Structure 1
Amino acid sequence: MSEDASSYPPIEPTKFDLIVVGTGLPESVIAAAASANGKTVLHLDPNSSYGSHYASLSLRDLSNFLNSHPAPPPSTSSNGHDFTPVPLAPRPLYSHVEISSFVPEILDDEHSRKFNIDLCGPRVLFCADKSIDLILKSGANQYIDFKSIDSSFVCDASGRLTNVPDSRAAIFKDKSLGLTEKNQLMRFFKLVQQHLGGGENENERISEQDLESPFVEFLKKMRLPPKIKSIILYAIAMADYDQDNVELCEDVLKTKDGIDRLALYNSSVGRFPNALGAFLYPIYGHGELPQAFCRRAAVKGCIHVLRMPMIALLMDKCTGHYKGVRLSSGQDLFSHQLILDPSSVVPLPVISSPTDSSRENRQILGLGDEKRKVARGICITRSSLRPDTSNFLVVYPPRSLYPEQVTSIRALQISSDLAVCPSGLYYTFVLCVMMPTKG
């Protein structure tokens, strides 16, 4: 915090329908929805800017954020009230952070301020995604602009990048596809469109048995060549795990889900006249998304307070039910409901003779032991990875880089066109889902 929270004036009123802690995207959407429905909402964040773990930060702020170690909350007391304060424990969301620079001047203050690095990257949005529908329906689009991603590619085992076709015309123009491959792909897409359109004839619909089968088996049944199968599975349906080994796959994609993702991709292409392909990215970065919903919430009466950590929950001494929160300023606030972001852990309070219902309520506050992790990297370069393209997505399917690769790796390069870095520089997000740890 840039200033002592104890110097803040008391927040008025002290009772709300909902208190939301953290201004990440999920929390901001909930705050906006509750405010739009006439609820009294208090939205808190310990940071000096909006976004929490969805923020877009300068290089300097990014380094400070990733290397920050929140202090444990101070001790609290009930002071004779009918509630017990339960201190919160900080929960680090990053297990390992490493920052290096081969060009130190990029990290100086002048360059650093011109970057907007996404904490939640890399993530592109489908033009027809439900999140885009929500932005339009809620009116949050008044506060945010998007730009389309120029192209997307998939890498094969030889290291060659193949353009992901986004239309029939693109399929026929693609010189990397042979005539037979183009015909097979066109027949497949025709069947999918007939199925989604509720085809009248049986041969125009995908059978229930096929819909429940692994998508990879259905693609084999359609006699699609490996290259086309890889494009559909990993660059369009966005499967994370190796689908060819169904027995060992952590998350087998069913045909019905694969068809839904194809439909999403197909409906995304051409949805907006100024979007070239299927994907969008927010100008100034993903941090603009929670800010847009926060602004929408503020219009509806939500109170926002930054630089204000919450240090404890207030639990009823008799029932064990949630009553409110205690701020680092020492003020106690009360609400019917609480939304808490994942950066804090709520230990189970010690209450004598708890009822079964209170024990269940307290258990809900605990967080599960999630062993699955995501490895992410951010690379800043002086030249584009593809000379003719500035903003693009590359998908490396399982086993395309090395034999032991069991998950997809995605790389998203974006440029100053999206107001996220200085002109003449590019930065690339790299992401890979890690296999769950044993034990």
Structure 2
Amino acid sequence: MDEEYDVIVLGTGLKECILSGLLSVDGLKVLHMDRNDYYGGESTSLNLVQLWKKFRGSDKPPPQLGSSRDYNVDMIPKFMMANGTLVRVLIHTDVTKYLSFKAVDGSYVFNKGKIHKVPATDMEALKSPLMGIFEKRRARKFFIFVQDYDESDPRTHDGMDLTRVTTRQLIVKYGLDDNTVDFIGHALALHRDDHYLDEPALDTVKRMKLYAESLARFQGGSPYIYPLYGLGELPQAFARLSAVYGGTYMLNKPECKVEFDEEGKVCGVTSEGETARCKKVVCDPSYLPNKVRKVGKVARAICIMSHPIPNTNDSHSVQVILPQKQLGRRSDMYLFCCSYAHCVAPKGKFIAFVSTEAETDQPETELKPGIDLLGPIDEIFFDVYDRYEPVNEPSLDNCFISTSYDPTTHFESTVIDVLNMYNMITGKVVDLSVDLSAASAAEE
């Protein structure tokens, strides 16, 4: 403790672990502390006994659910885009050698009371029951435009400047109906609400391209991959990386009080009467509660089941997006399912999550449209947590605080936050132009 560090990282949540890994690789001297005696913070994975303790206050789960240690239940369930930013960061840092991934079986969208596979290419658009015959032709033309679009080649731009044209204007040009727009915007481009319609179309086109490229990557039924043994593996893999590059880890450190000098700049962290000195602090919102503000809350149901989600083609791992408009809500709802196929439950057991941005104080009622799609449930737990974002000015106090995890079931927004923080801390940009085939061994 009595040393000086470039950076002290507080909390071993996924964002903090990725940052301590990246900063250690950069040659910075990093000390990483957590008040908990386990890795992962908010984004940890729990076994059955831990799950029971957290939600039921007892440590005796019913025996028919199987062995406790066969369960790895993510508290913040998310899939990764096969070609997405997180996978690029994993390859850039070579963390892939500590992890095994498997493709996710399916990606679906809720439309007019039914679950449908998300069409991602012109060929899939033609087969999809989501659209009538004329709409399919229009959608196919639009998909072909997106597939062929190349930012650096004006011949593919169809005479439009997508940095100026809004998504709404682009959609009008192709004559797509609201129904089609709903699944394109929310299930392909993964927007969380409808603000994107009045923003430049380039972002949406790029997001659709990422989806299609990720889908093509493993020729699976979805663009997503997920680590064997659950997301709890990720923070630990980055922690290993940090340790290889000389980072120091201390778990189970109570308090972790951040100390400031007379100018209000961070100068160290005190725990158990000892102070470690540092120039910068990176942490999650819980370590500096007076420098964050509440921006919302997430409601989630965690369900243990003995079957896959109905109408998803018996998928062992699947995401279903329920766009806000379909439910008459202000934000989307997400279903996430994984199973023994990814080693997160005993054979024959499935774990399903229903997540959304809470709009009322009754999560049970609010999550009902998602829970109703799951079929029979063995056990259900409800979790609600507040979301915070930093309000401090890092250039003045040298505190770099991550934003709480949102309810989405994919990592794109999480990693953008990490890369922005890395840029603020170091003034550099992570090189993401990596050889994606480095993670191809991940398939099985």
The answer, yes or no, to whether TM exceeds 0.5 is: yes
Change (3 A) 1:253 1:383: farther
Change (3 A) 1:20 1:203: closer
Distance 1:201 1:166 in 2: 23
Deviations 1:155-178 (A, max 9, x none): 112x12221123444334445544
**AA at the equivalent of 1:18:** V
Q: How far has the Cα of 1:411 moved from its partner?
A: 0.4
Q: Which runs of 5+ in 1 are unaligned?
A: 1-10, 68-98, 244-248, 348-365
Alignment check: 8 A CA contact 1:15 1:335 kept: yes
- Does 2:348 correspond to 1:424? yes
**AA at the equivalent of 1:432:** T
Q: How far has the Cα of 1:297 moved from its partner?
A: 0.7
Alignment check: 8 A CA contact 1:166 1:278 kept: no
Deviations 1:317-340 (A, max 9, x none): x4443221111x221211121112
Distance 1:376 1:132 in 2: 26
Q: How far has the Cα of 1:202 moved from its partner?
A: 7.9
2:318 to 367, 386, 392: 392
What SS is found at the alignment partner of 2:205?
helix
Distance 2:252 2:163 in 1: 55
1:268 to 189, 210, 214: 214
What SS is found at the alignment partner of 1:132?
helix
**AA at the equivalent of 2:267:** K
Deviations 1:31-87 (A, max 9, x none): 1122112221111112222111111111332344x56xxxxxxxxxxxxxxxxxxxx
Alignment check: 8 A CA contact 1:240 1:433 kept: no
Q: How far has the Cα of 1:251 moved from its partner?
A: 9.0
- Does 2:279 correspond to 1:336? yes
Distance 2:354 2:168 in 1: 25
Percent of counterpart pairs with the same letter? 27
Q: How far has the Cα of 1:104 moved from its partner?
A: 5.8
What SS is found at the alignment partner of 1:162?
strand
Q: How far has the Cα of 1:184 moved from its partner?
A: 1.4
2:103 to 148, 161, 176: 148
Change (3 A) 1:202 1:304: closer
Matched ranges for 1:66-77 at <5 A: 66=54
Q: Which runs of 5+ in 2 are unaligned?
A: 362-444
Moved over 6 A (4+): none
Q: Name the stretch that deviates more: 298-307 or 198-207.
A: 198-207
Alignment check: 8 A CA contact 2:9 2:20 kept: yes
Distance 1:59 1:374 in 2: 22
Deviations 1:255-285 (A, max 9, x none): 2221121121122122246x54311112111
2:46 to 57, 76, 92: 57
What SS is found at the alignment partner of 1:196?
coil
Match of 2:238 in 1: 293
Distance 1:202 1:45 in 2: 50
- Does 2:145 correspond to 1:188? no
Match of 2:225 in 1: 280
1:258 to 204, 208, 221: 204
1:204 to 127, 152, 158: 158
Q: What value does the CA root-mean-square deviation take over the aligned residues?
A: 2.9
Distance 2:106 2:264 in 1: 54
Alignment check: 8 A CA contact 2:81 2:214 kept: yes
Match of 2:68 in 1: 112
**AA at the equivalent of 1:196:** D
Match of 1:323 in 2: 267
Distance 2:52 2:16 in 1: 24
Match of 2:398 in 1: none
Alignment check: 8 A CA contact 2:145 2:156 kept: no
Alignment check: 8 A CA contact 2:120 2:188 kept: no
Match of 1:90 in 2: none
Count residues in correspondence: 358
User: What is the TM-score normalised by the length of structure 2?
Assistant: 0.73
Distance 2:57 2:277 in 1: 45
Distance 1:39 1:296 in 2: 13
**AA at the equivalent of 1:259:** V
Match of 2:4 in 1: 15
Larger Cα-atom Rg = 1
Distance 1:209 1:39 in 2: 38
Q: Which structure: greater helix fraction?
A: 2
Deviations 1:123-173 (A, max 9, x none): 22111111110101101101111111111111112x122211234443344
1:382 to 283, 306, 326: 306
Match of 1:77 in 2: none
**AA at the equivalent of 1:118:** D
What SS is found at the alignment partner of 1:393?
strand
- Does 2:317 correspond to 1:371? no
Q: How far has the Cα of 1:415 moved from its partner?
A: 0.9
User: What is the TM-score normalised by the length of structure 1?
Assistant: 0.74
Alignment check: 8 A CA contact 2:126 2:137 kept: no
What SS is found at the alignment partner of 2:345?
coil
- Does 2:63 correspond to 1:39? no
Match of 1:94 in 2: none
Q: How far has the Cα of 1:200 moved from its partner?
A: 3.8
- Does 2:353 correspond to 1:409? no
Change (3 A) 1:325 1:104: closer
Deviations 1:272-312 (A, max 9, x none): 46x54311112111111111111111111111111113442
Alignment check: 8 A CA contact 1:19 1:337 kept: yes
What SS is found at the alignment partner of 2:216?
coil
Q: How far has the Cα of 1:253 moved from its partner?
A: 5.3
**AA at the equivalent of 1:323:** C
Distance 2:36 2:57 in 1: 25
Q: How far has the Cα of 1:208 moved from its partner?
A: 4.6
Change (3 A) 1:340 1:203: closer
Distance 1:189 1:197 in 2: 16
